Amino acid sequence: MVGISRPAYPPSAELWGHFPRAPPIEEYAVPPASSRARPPVLREGMRVLWVAVRAEPRAFTVSVLASALYAAMTVTTAQVLGWATEEVVLPAFRSGHTTAGALAGAATAIVGVAALKALGVAGRRFYAGLVQYRMQASYRRAVTRQYLRLPLAWHHRHPTGQLLSNANADVEATWAPLAPLPMAVGVVFMLLIAAASIIATDLAVAAVAFLIFPAIALVNVAYQRRLSPVATRAQRLRAEVSEVAHESFEGGLVVKTLGREQDETERFRARAEELRDANVAVGRIRGMFDPVLEALPNLGVLAVLLIGSMRLDSGAMTAGDLVHVSYLFTLLAWPIRALGWVLAEVPRSVVGWERVRGVLDASGSLPFGDAALGEDKAAALEVRGVRFAFEGAAEGGGGGREVLHDVSFSAAPGRTVAVVGPTGSGKSTLTSLLVRLVDPADGSVLLDGVDLRDVRRGGVAASAALVPQQTFLFDDTVRGNVTLGLDVPDERVWEALRLAQADGFVAGLPGGLDTQVGERGATLSGGQRQRLALARALVRRPRLLVLDDATSSVDPQVEARILRGLREAQSAGDGSGVTVVVVAYRKATIGLADEVVYLERGRVTARGAHAELLETSEGYRDLVNAYERAEAEQEAGQEAGQEIERGAAGGGEEAVA
């Protein structure tokens, strides 16, 4: 940090900008369900799929044309076989011989139709998959961008498991019908061609078709109506199971230390069994209707053979016509099921769409201006009359719970301000306001005289860094956790580690900077994790550094060295340096601050130097002395434990002697 200029942070390096832009989703959006009367599921599902058709018109059109080619060639296959039977096979039986030309002509016709049919299948599958995966990717990016835009207050109201389900399972369910949809459209085209072909062949046989095809359609409609509520419930339960699982993983330490494994297992089992029962119910409905949908075309074939043989005996139709129609019914048995596949996926698609739109329609994103902050010198911080309240009903009704009331203070460039206060006084909330994770209800936070709400997107993150109470490390290397994608040389990483007093233990790790730290830094101690988190902030050379009790797990000697290093950085000879706001409780830490801000019940009740507040503020004096007594008692307890261990070891040696 000392003597080295700060890096530039162009807009392209903003976090949200790393996600590719999706198509203009809002242009195709269906109004949210909450703003209108809920239509039938099938109609709503078609509206959702129309969003994809409008977003990917070219790929969808090609997939439908390929499906139409497949449909046409399916009907043509039956016609070619009928022609080959009438013109090649039967004459060969009558005369006892045939010609190579006749066989070659029949083979060429069959192979040619089969090749075109295969081309239609390949084109349909490729472009239908292309539409589906593009829409899934677009909406995953849109949901992710929305997560980044929405303020922390919104995230606090939505479990992480639900957010994961929205971005993954719900997006997949929304666009699942896109894969079979082109084939279903092609099936409709196929049925029209087949109906025309059968009518042209024989009206009596056509009557059978006009009974079978509507019967298949009615069964599909009944299938969709029975499946819709069950599939909807199963989709919702998937999200609930995801929420419970994620919460269980996050609270694994609590569960194990309190011996609640059995209770947590039971909680997950109950939800998982509900999902199992819902999926079994879906399977039962499918198991009941699928055989019917498969049997109807086969029944049609039997009816055609029965009536066709009678018509053949009377001379009303030829053997080729009978082969043509019966084989056509056989071919239609499998493609018609594509209609059932689409209808089966529509309920899940509608539920997934509503959950995804619930995220995309969420309001509360932080607005940005176009003001720029300084780049080289330590920042000047000013907090003016800030008030903040958490959303939610307060006691007795009214607005949310107010945690900060008319908070005002300032920090000159390169100075250190300690924020001190009892638990629940609003210290952590204040740190979130200083780096603009949230905005105040009233008042303003200014950096270099600029209201943070007027700063361009990414500007605050380029100038200010927060090291929170709860340290989070990724399952990555030490280097990856410190840089988080920032392209900096290793020398600068080591510089940040030295300031954070982490260079010693990092150098002792097996792989140094390339050592994997495990999930959440499981292979490191609490103090080591805190020092890496501090280095992560320092490597960015912030102009404002906010420490929210960020060295609570570090012993006092190491903490003192960290603070001395920050002091050196603040007094850098090149005029750079950093302004520090530290939430502290140790007297040694507070004593290094240029000014102390004492918070009590969300209000600034005292400001001044540490020694001054010890004299003038009874609440501050009692709090700091209580912290000091508690720390002294803890150290005394540790020393007593060590004495007991040494005494026990000495007694054991005497006994051996």
Per-residue pLDDT tens digits for 587-637: 777 877 788 888 888 888 888 888 888 888 888 788 877 766 655 555 555
- Chain mean position to CA 36: 27
Q: Which of 328-337, 381-390, 576-585, 626-635 has the lowest mean pLDDT?
A: 626-635
For residues 531 and 502, is the Cβ–Cβ distance under 8 A?
A: yes
pLDDT at residue 545 is higher than 80: yes
Domains of the chain, earliest start first: 41-360 (1.20.1560.10), 381-616 (3.40.50.300)
One-character DSSP codes across 120-185: HHHHHHHHHHHHHHHHHHHHHHHHHHHHHHS-HHHHHTS-HHHHHHIIIIIHHHHHGGGTTHHHHH
Which range has the worst mean pLDDT, 334-338, 456-460, 585-589? Answer: 334-338
Q: Region 286-297: what's the mean pLDDT?
A: 75
Whether 645 shows a pLDDT value over 80: the answer reads no
**Which carries the bigger pLDDT value, residue 576 or residue 208?**
208
Q: Is the pLDDT of residue 255 over 50?
A: yes
528 and 502 Cβ atoms separated by less than 8 Å: yes
C-beta separation of 332 from 297 below 8 A? yes
- For the residues 239-258, what does the mean pLDDT come to? 74
| Model pLDDT, residue 157 | 75
The answer on pLDDT for 395 being more than 60 is no
pLDDT (0 to 100) of residue 652: 45
Distances (CA, A) of 395 to 391, 392, 401, 405: 12, 10, 8, 17
Query: Could you write out the three-class secondary structure of 73-93?
Result: HHHHHHHHHHHHHHHHHHHHH
Is the pTM higher than 0.75?
no
Residue pLDDT, tens place only, 169-214: 788 888 888 888 888 888 777 777 777 777 777 777 777 767 777 7
Residue 24: the pLDDT is 42
Rounded average pLDDT over 463-469: 82
Among 616, 545, 551, which Cα is nearest to 588's? 551
Q: Give me the pLDDT at residue 67, please.
A: 86
Give the pair of three-digit tokens for residue 537.
Answer: 């902030």
Q: Is 37 helix (H, G, I), strand (E, B) or coil?
A: coil
Distance CA(214)–CA(233), nearest Å, equals 30
